[in-house]
Amino acid sequence: MIKDDIRSYFPILNQEINGNPLVYLDSAATSQKPIQVIESLKKYYEFDNSNVHRGVHTLGNRATDEYEGAREKVRQFINAKSTEEIIFTRGTTAGLNMVASSYGRANVGEGDEIVITYMEHHSNLIPWQQLAKATNATLKYIELEADGTLSMDEVKKAITSRTKIVSVTMASNVLGTINDVKAIAQVAHQNGAVMVVDGAQGVPHMKTDVQDLDCDFLAFSGHKMCGPTGIGVLYGKKEHLLNMEPVEFGGEMINFVGLQDSTWADLPAKFEAGTPVIAGAIGLGAAIDFLNEIGMDNIIAREHELSKYAFENLSTVEGLTIYGPQNPEIRTGLVTFNIDDVHPHDLATALDSRGIAVRAGHHCAQPLMKWLNCVATARASFYVYNNEADIDKLAEGVRFAKEYFANV
């Protein structure tokens, strides 16, 4: 049973930064880790550390059971049909690159189209751009509405019978916009294309059901959902994964190796060459247990409350613009903003002097920055451990920075 005081599970929050209690508002970059996840890593290294899928010894069996147990937790968490469809990766970036290199190279050719949006993170843009260049395909962008949302009219305009791959983020790491990836998947399928979903900013925040979404691939990162760094997941429909070539070759992904040719292991091992991130997967399993105890529906509901509070509070600061849809109900828990006459890097430095961690920059979304007509922004992003007091401190900090830079 999770205590109401969720913050108490996060030891890192219990410290001062520059003489002030830490206010961590950078969870869209990476989330903090609860004690349950830290303890799971400690237990693994102290008692169970061993390689997986190899030995007959007890430690090897324990490590394998825990690693494969984590895969089953992931399967349930996103409601995949089978653990064969769950591939452990290094993170979202690695998963999207795998789809582009393996599925993309085999199925996209000259004159075909790949469709993405202007709100994609570089990780869901560059792999497709490079695939398009290598295959002489066309990379097309779905236009955004003025408020930073996607309209189904524009989606239908962009996806045609030439489209082979549609890849869209579940939620924008800059605008907070939550996209209707289920409806987009339907349009993709009607046109004979596959639907790839970048789940980096979606899966940590809301209930995700891959069968309901009917997406063909979904990539996400453990570190943004209370899990360790270095572990992520690529979900793929079995029918695709069975027909795809591995991207990396080496130990553990083979069936038979001859001098001139080899055959591949069954799913999911075919896509997991080498010693996997065993501790990371086990830690991700512990993170999933933690999130399930809180309840994914409670997490997004709380983020809507915090976003609403942040909108109300920050909009009283003169000269402050919040980007993206102005309705907190259709966003995840983050606010990206600028204030007149203060560079976001200066703002972030001023906030840091008060113990407040926000991100400033282009957020790995340069085409979106261009669309917003700015070079950089500040971003405060919330997760399960944030509360209204954090947002009060953010607003006070922004006011302080505005006055400070007006007088220098």
Residue (254 or 376) nearer to ligand 7TS, CB: 376
CB of 198 to ligand 7TS, least distance (A): 5
Binding window for ligand 7TS (CB under 6 A); candidates: 12-20, 118-126, 238-246, 392-400: 118-126
CB of 126 to ligand 7TS, least distance (A): 11
User: Which residue bears the tokens 């972030």?
Assistant: 348
Interface residue with ligand 7TS among 64, 117, 124, 377 (CB under 6 A) is 124
DSSP 3-state assignment of 219? strand
**Do 22 and 355 form a contact (C-beta atoms < 8 A)?**
yes
Strand 20-21 and strand 16-17: the pairing is: antiparallel
The strands making up 163-169's β-sheet, listed across from edge to edge, are 86-89, 232-236, 217-221, 194-198, 163-169, 113-117, 138-142
Pick the catalytic residue from 215, 226, 364, 374: 364
CB of 375 to ligand 7TS, least distance (A): 16
For ligand 7TS, the binding residues in 273-302 under the rule CB under 6 A are none
Binding of residue 126 to ligand 7TS (CB under 6 A): no
CB of 104 to ligand 7TS, least distance (A): 17
For ligand 7TS, the binding residues in 46-75 under the rule CB under 6 A are none
Binding window for ligand 7TS (CB under 6 A); candidates: 87-95, 246-254, 300-308, 321-329: 87-95
48 phi and psi angles, rounded to 5 deg: -120, 0
Distance CA 98, CA 127 (A): 9
Side-chain half-sphere exposure of 167, counting CA atoms within 13 A: 33
For ligand 7TS, the binding residues in 160-179 under the rule CB under 6 A are 169, 173
Distance CA 194, CA 237 (A): 10
Strand residue runs (E) in 129-216: 138-142, 163-169, 194-198
Distance CA 228, CA 247 (A): 24
Binding of residue 112 to ligand 7TS (CB under 6 A): no
User: What would you report as the CA-atom Rg of the chain, rounded to the nearest whole angstrom?
Assistant: 22
Distance CA 151, CA 211 (A): 23
DSSP 102: I
CB of 58 to ligand 7TS, least distance (A): 34
Residue (63 or 185) nearer to ligand 7TS, CB: 185
For ligand 7TS, the binding residues in 29-48 under the rule CB under 6 A are 29
For ligand 7TS, the binding residues in 90-109 under the rule CB under 6 A are 91-93
**Which secondary structure element, helix H or strand E, spans residue 382, and what is its range?**
none
The closest alpha carbon to 235, from 389, 384, 108, 81, belongs to: 81
Binding of residue 363 to ligand 7TS (CB under 6 A): yes
Binding window for ligand 7TS (CB under 6 A); candidates: 54-62, 85-93, 189-197, 236-244: 85-93
CB of 221 to ligand 7TS, least distance (A): 3
For residue 192, the tally of other CB atoms under 10 A from its CB is 12
- In Å, how far from its chain's centre is CA 301? 19
The footprint of ligand 7TS on this chain (CB under 6 A) covers a number of residues equal to: 17
Answer yes or no: 364 catalytic: yes
CB of 169 to ligand 7TS, least distance (A): 5
For ligand 7TS, the binding residues in 198-257 under the rule CB under 6 A are 198, 200-201, 221
Tokens (6 digits) for 225: 């959902």
The region that residue 79 occupies, defined by phi over 0 for left and psi between -120 and 50 for alpha, beta otherwise, is left
Polymer length of the chain: 408
Residue (63 or 287) nearer to ligand 7TS, CB: 287
For ligand 7TS, the binding residues in 7-26 under the rule CB under 6 A are none
Q: Which residues bind ligand 7TS (CB under 6 A)?
A: 28-29, 91-93, 121, 123-124, 169, 173, 198, 200-201, 221, 359, 363-364
**Residues annotated catalytic, as ranges:** 364
